[in-house]
Amino acid sequence: MNSGHVLAAFLGSATVAFVAIGTVWPAPSAAAFAGAETVLASSSTAEGAVRNLGGEIRAQHWEKAYARLANKAQFTETEFVHDLTGDYPSLLTYSTLDKFEVRPLHASASEAQIQLTLHWATVVGSSVSARELHVVKIGDTWEPEWPVVKQPTVPPQVIPVNYLRWDVIYRGPGDDWGAQDVEAPHVRIVDMHPVERADGVVILGELLNEDVVPAYVSVTATLLTKSQSTIATEGSFDKISHLLLPKQVTPFLIKFPNVTLSEVGSIRMTPLSALIAASADPVIEIGDQQLHPTPDASLTGQLINQSGQIVNVAHVLGTFYDKGGQVVWVADQYVDKALLPQNPVPFQIHIPEDLAKNVATQRTVVATYSSGGSQ
């Protein structure tokens, strides 16, 4: 046996041994990532206690997380879980806690105030929520109090709804080639404005459904050089409300990373529209819309579902205009809670700090999705 075979046999044996050791005595962090258990810090500090709670929530060990709370007598474990993931199906129902941050705000010998920021990984990207936890020292250990927000429930009832619904019948395979098909909805870009940002060019604009039927819409833009060669083509993806009822307007935003405006000679806009079966229900009131200046410039408000149908996911799009009425920015936020009838749900859309000073007015629209089909 030469030295090469000896080395190979040694490495093979060592690998098997390390795998066995790692399986039988896993490192806490590896076990936590595998979902087996959390990385537990000591609860001998207020920060450690909150960190432990965050770890249990991340591992979805609801029972253990609930057991760590100092104020668990005030609510049930189910209410605690519903507070985190929603009572009705919503964006958070199908999400996991990606990471969390713990930030001490105030501390004394017997109590502390700590902010727990939760970064949820959802199907539409990250959703961040923050809770301020009061932490108390009981004996030698610290226990957090969970600031539970009890979820509203809808009393059993019948809500009559008589809004319009549109259904579409397209031409059939047996029709003559000359037989007309149903016309695609007529849509029009009523505003378009390119903006240069640090990470590239952004096309902002608004699209109007000028037809009398609902439209499924999207917008693509192609940047052309001065010699009319194509630089790039991008679509609005989810920075648009895809369903437009008659005479409804949606903003759109299209990003072109790593492109500068000086390279662009012209822009070719292509609005796409298709007939879609849709309902005029639900109607969402967007109340208390308020622009907040810098620092932390944002648009806040609340969504009030005026219909009987529960909205599982709401997507709020804000269009921000300068004093001249020109679009200066489009931003959005997915609301992570279901919209129950007549129960206001707050939203907050952040505005880039450098653009906030130019914002004079805004217009907000909301796209809604209900289980059993998009609306």
Partner 1 sequence: MRSRYPFLFCGLTIAAHLALAQGTSMVLPKTVEAGNAFSIQSTGSGKATLYIMGPGQVLKREIQLGVTTQILGGSLYNAGHYLAFLSGDSSTESNSFDVVPATKPANLSFLAKPSRLSVGLHDGITGTAYVFDTYHNLLAAPTPVSFELSNPSGTVQKRIVVTHDGAAWAAMDSTAQQGIDRFVARIGEVSSTRVVGQVPGDPCGLKMNARQSGRLVQLVTDPVRDCSGNAVLDGTVVTFTETYKGNQSTIDEPLKHGIAEVEISAHSGATFSIASGVVMGNQIRWEK
Binding residues for partner 1 restricted to 217-256, rule: CB under 8 A: 245-249
- Contact between 207 and partner 1 per CB under 8 A: no
Pick the binder of partner 1 from 44, 306, 348, 374 (CB under 8 A).
306
Query: CB 96 → partner 1: shortest distance, Å?
Result: 34
3-state secondary structure of 248: coil
Residue 172 makes contact with partner 1 by CB under 8 A: no
Looking only at residues 91 through 110 of this chain, which bind partner 1 when binding is defined by CB under 8 A?
none
Among 319, 316, 337, 341, which residue's Cα sits nearest to residue 328?
A: 319
In angstroms, give the least distance from the CB of 286 to partner 1.
5
Q: Rule CB under 8 A: is residue 175 a binding residue for partner 1?
A: no
Tokens encoding 163: 């809004």
Q: Which among 190, 300, 312, 198 is positioned nearest to 252, based on CA atoms?
A: 190
364 binds partner 1 (CB under 8 A): yes
Which of 190, 274, 326, 357 touches partner 1 (CB under 8 A)? 190
| DSSP for residue 228 | -
Q: Which is nearer to partner 1, 192 or 280 (CB)?
A: 280
Q: Is 176 among the residues that bind partner 1 (CB under 8 A)?
A: yes
The continuous run of DSSP H or E covering 16 comes out as helix 3-24
The H or E element containing residue 77 is helix 77-85
In order of 283, 308, 368, the CA distances from 163 in angstroms are 10, 11, 16
Place of tokens 């399986």: 23
Nearer to partner 1, 25 or 170 (CB): 170
Cis, peptide link before residue 194, omega less than 30° from 0: no
Q: Segment near partner 1 (CB under 8 A), from 60-68, 125-133, 180-188, 341-349? A: 180-188
- The region of 17-25, 62-70, 77-85, 174-182 touching partner 1 under the rule CB under 8 A is 174-182
Closer CB to partner 1, 134 or 363, in the complex? 363
Collapsing DSSP states into helix, strand and coil, what is residue 84? helix
Using the minimum distance from each CB to partner 1, give the nearer residue, 10 or 163. Answer: 163
CA–CA dist 244, 250 (Å, integer):
7
Nearer to partner 1, 131 or 350 (CB): 350
How near is the Cβ of 189 to partner 1 at its closest, in Å? 12
Terminal CA-to-CA distance of the chain, rounded, Å?
72
- Quote the least distance from Cβ 327 to partner 1, whole Å: 14
Nearer to partner 1 by Cβ, of 333 and 364: the residue is 364
List Cβ neighbours of 188 (8 Å cut-off, separation of 6 or more).
207, 208, 210, 271
Peptide bond into 295 cis (omega under 30): yes
Binding flag, residue 326, partner 1 (CB under 8 A): no
Instruction: By CB under 8 A, name the binding residues for partner 1.
Output: 162-164, 166, 176-178, 180-183, 190, 208-214, 245-249, 280, 283-291, 301, 306, 362-365
